[in-house]
Structure formats: C-alpha cells, structure tokens
Chain A
Amino acid sequence: MVRGVPASVRAAAWIFVILTLVFVLAPLIVVAGVSVSESQFIVFPPQGFSLRWYEAILSSSTYLAAAWTSLKLAVLVTSTVTGVGAGAAVALHRRRLPLSELLGALFLSPLILPTIIFAIGLLMLWSATFGPVSFMALWIGHSVIALPYVVRTTLAVLADSDPFLEEAARTMGASRWQALVHVILPQCAPGLAAGAFFAFNISFDEAIVALFLRTPSLVTLPIQIYNQLEFSPDPSVAAVSTLMIALTVVLIVAIDRLLGIQRVAA
C-alpha cells in the first residue's frame, strides 16, 4: 500500500513555504512600512502612522525631477524597443533570413551577458566618440537591455499564431504592407504589449547603466535613491521606493490582463 505524504512532512512543508515567502518579500514589506512611519529616523516596525514622507517627496524638486527623467526615458525606450522589436520578431519568426538561429541568439544575448560589462563599455565608447554622456546615451543603453524582452514575448506569441493567415491575406490581394499592418501586427499585439510593459518596468527600475552614465544633471529615480542611500537616508527614500513597488505591481497586473500571467511565467 502506498503511504501518502506524512502529516509531519506536510506541516513542515507549509512552514517552510511561509518562511521562504517571508524571506523573499521581507525587504518590500519593510520599505512600505518605513514609508508610513511618523519618526524621522528609519525604523522598522514603524512608529506611528503618517503620510508626511509622501507629502515630502511630492513637493521635493530633486525627486520630482528624477521621476520626470525616469518617466521620459521609460516612455521613449518602450516606444523604441516595441517598434524595433516587432520588426525583428516578425523577421526572425519567418526564418527566411540567413543565419536566423544565430541572429535569434544574438538578439537575446543582452539578457545573458552581465549588464555591468555593457554599462562600462557604453560609458567608454560614448565618451571616446561623443564626449560627455547625455540623455541619448541612456536611451540607447536602456533600449539595448529592453529589446530582448520584447523580441522574446513577441516570438512566443507568433509561435502559436496561424501561419496561413498572412498567406490568405496576400492571396486575397493585400500588399505586403497591408498584410503586415492588418494581419501580422494584430497577431503580435499581445506579445508586443507584454514586452512593452516589461520594457517600461525595466527601464524605470534600471540602476546599473544609469549609475555608470550618471552626471549631476542626468539622474534617474533609482539613482536618486542610490545617492540618498550612499549618505544618510530619511524615510522619504522609503516613500519613493514604495511608490516604485506600487508601479511594478500595477505593471504586473497589466501584463496579466493582456497576456495572462500563465503564458509569461511558463
């Protein structure tokens, strides 16, 4: 007779999972807790309840400027990689290009190689070629990092799509352009949208490239937080961080609505 999982093991498993989840989520919970503390020192568990730190950051010009830089950058990066990635994914999916498989691997390579190596290379190449780093350097840096996500999600959606729809459209007299816009693009749309949300999240949260390219006038929100952490932070850092976490959660929910998180998690 096969014995089921012993009750003691089952109980131990539950405790283990809960402890692990606490471990994994602890920093996020702590940050949120500190942000509503009344005390001007960073303490956890928080003392009292107050939204003063949220008020403080919403009226701080440094934080607002950094947030604006991050937002501008993320929107630009997302638009860029969605367009570029769509074309690349469609071309890769068709597998008609020479060296398609190698090309596909190359498109995913920024995911594998350590970001710090790319960041330092970009700093050196840009400085040697163009001089001081600018917003454009950051735009290019983030676009390179975000592109593989769009290509990957779009390819995944295209892999499940009907290959004959395009052919049918062309047979009916549609031009290449019309087939692309009216048939293929709608097929890609969920993948593109998920990729776009990933790209936005990545660009907004990105800290390595932004750190290497940082100048006093080119500060993104994560770098502003990093600057504060290097010296003496007050709970306003926690308020900004909590807002960033909230943004991430919103983006995850949006990805789920669009693609279903099962697809993405697989």
Chain B
Amino acid sequence: MRTDRAEDVALAAPGVILLLAFFLPIAQMLVLSVAHEPSGRLSAEHFVRFLTDPYFAGVAWRTVRLSLAITLIAAAIGFPLAYIMARVSPTLRLWLIILVVLPLMTSVVVRTFGWMVLLGRGGLIPFTLWKMGFVGRNFTLMQTEAAVIVGMTQVLLPFMTLSILGVVMKIDPRLEEAARTMGCGFLASLRTVVLPLAMPGIVAGSLLVFTLSVSSFITPSLLGGVRLPVLAGSIYEAATKTLEWHFAAAQSVVLLLGVLAVLVPYIRLTRRAHG
C-alpha cells in the first residue's frame, strides 16, 4: 500500500512542480501589489491610486461596459443558435460545432487581423455602409467601441453557444410538444417552456463570456486603439512600457478579484448542472 502511494506521488510530482510554476508568479504579483516601491513595506497606495484616479476609473468602467454589451449580444445570438443546434440531426450538429469552434482554435492575432481588414478604411463593412448611404466615403470602424464589441463577440460566441447547448440538449422535447398540444404557438412555446429551462445554461455562458471579455487584451487593443484602453491594456502598458510593476500588479489583482467574483457563481452553477 505504501508503494502504491509512492508510485502515485512519483507520477504526480512533475505536474505539481509545473503547477508551482503557475501559482508562484501569481503569488509574486499579489506580493508586489501591496508593496511600497523602494522599501518593500506593506502599502495600499497602488490600489488607492487605481481607485481614485478618474482615468483608471474610466478604464475599468469601459471594460465592464463593453463586456456587458458583448455578453448580451452573445446571449441573444447564442440562445437561438444553441436551440437550433440542439434540434437538428447529430451530423449537422457536429458540423455546426466544428464551424463555430474553429475560429477559437486559430491565433487571436489572426482573427483580429481579419477584423481589422473588414472594419478599416475601405474595408468591406464601411464600404457597404457607404453604398447604402449611411456614412461618408472615408468612414472607418476601427478604433471604435463597436469594432471591439464585434470582434470580441465573434470569438466568445462559441463559449456561450456550447454552454447553452449542453443545457438545451437535456430539455425533453416532449415538454414543448405538450405545450403545443395545449394550443401554444411555436414561438410562444420557446418563450414559455424552453427559455426558462435553458436559463442556467444562459447564465453560465454569460458569466463565462463576461469573465473572458473583461480580461481580454489583444483584440480590444488592436481594434479599439490607444484612445480606448481596457483594463488588460492598462496592465500591459504599466508592465512593459512605463515599467510601473507594482501598479501593474495592483491592477492585475483588481482584475483577478473581479474575475473570481464572477467565476465562483459560475463554478457553483456548472457543478450543480453536472450533478
């Protein structure tokens, strides 16, 4: 029995060492965030700076605001998409899953580049809007909040869709049939039967999408530009450009706390769903 335990420890040990490589950097960051710059004494000055400076309050608010918009749009598209995917044949469903997940598996810089081409000056979307008479000739959607929302929604949609899909697939189709037997129309049965039952999946998906959106850096930075910084962009700036490491650490802790606040309910929700 003792050698059983020894064998397991030996097998798991390299993994645990690698895990240390994950948790030690996070610990280092926590330590840096509460340390006074040269002396190393405990100090909350970095957090105070973040919370009182209106510029950073604006950054945090923009991050949250954009993420809320992204989450709402992703839910609005993801719910009908998941419902349709749940009700088609298994083969078609598999293909839809692959197509929806494929962009996720490409590099974020590649995807974002694609959006830069589509939304920039002379890109297909401003061009179409110009031809339709909505905007002027030199219109560009780059460096706007709309561009960030569009780009982020595209990449986060699969997370929402798959979350909802898992839940909708467990809804007994006979429940909808029963409602329609009682005289309920198709769309009404969606609203009164499917939607409430799918709600745990929608909530879980929303929490997940919000978390991912709030901590995103590359897509918002490239599509939004320097005049629309998000929290992750501010962290990057402080860590690599202005080299204010303590302040960058404090901002990271703020992000971490925000993410944990959203993730804990998410984990509770999904654990309950899977029993």
CA distance A251 to B101 in the complex (A): 13
What string of 1s and 0s marks CB contacts (under 8 Å) between B71-83 and chain A? 0000001001100
Whether A28 lies near B11 (C-beta < 8 A) is no
Q: Which of B60-68, B130-138, B194-202, B245-253 contacts A (4 or more CB under 8 A)?
A: B245-253
A97 in contact with B8 given A84-B15, A226-B109 (CB within 8 Å): yes
A226 in contact with B11 given A16-B81, A44-B117, A233-B113 (CB within 8 Å): no
CB contact between B102 and one of A44, A92, A248 (< 8 Å): that residue: A248
CB contact between B108 and one of A23, A109, A207 (< 8 Å): that residue: A207
- Count of interface residues, chain B, beta-carbon cutoff 8 Å: 81
A13 in contact with B84 given A117-B255, A117-B256 (CB within 8 Å): yes
Whether A43 lies near B122 (C-beta < 8 A) is yes
CA distance A45 to B95 in the complex (A): 26
CB contact between B81 and one of A3, A20, A85, A205 (< 8 Å): that residue: A20
A contact face: mostly helix, strand, loop, or mixed: helix
**Which residues of A have CB within 8 Å of B222?**
226, 229
**Which residues of A have CB within 8 Å of B249?**
120, 124
Whether B110 lies near A31 (C-beta < 8 A) is yes
**Which residues of A have CB within 8 Å of B10?**
87
B105 at the interface (CB under 8 A from A): yes
CA distance A201 to B110 in the complex (A): 14
Whether A113 lies near B14 (C-beta < 8 A) is no
Number of A-B contacts (CB under 8 A): 247
Q: How far is the CB of B30 from chain A (nearest CB, A)?
A: 9
Whether A245 lies near B15 (C-beta < 8 A) is no
Q: Which of A17-35 contact B (CB under 8 A)?
A: 17, 20-21, 23-31, 34
CB contact between B14 and one of A83, A144, A265 (< 8 Å): that residue: A83
| 9 nearest A-B pairs in the assembled complex, by CB-CB distance | A27-B114, A121-B25, A88-B15, A114-B215, A205-B107, A91-B12, A87-B11, A121-B29, A91-B11
What 19 new A-B contacts, CB under 8 Å, besides A124-B239, A208-B218?
A2-B181, A24-B154, A26-B154, A27-B117, A27-B154, A28-B114, A31-B110, A31-B114, A34-B117, A44-B123, A87-B12, A116-B236, A118-B22, A121-B25, A121-B29, A147-B18, A212-B239, A229-B116, A248-B106
| A interface with B by C-beta (< 8 Å) | 2-3, 5-6, 9, 13, 16-17, 20-21, 23-31, 34, 42-45, 81, 83-85, 87-88, 90-92, 94, 96-97, 103, 106-107, 109-110, 112-118, 120-126, 128, 140, 143-144, 147, 151, 176, 201, 204-208, 211-212, 222, 225-226, 229, 233, 237-238, 241, 244-245, 248-249, 251-252, 261-262, 265
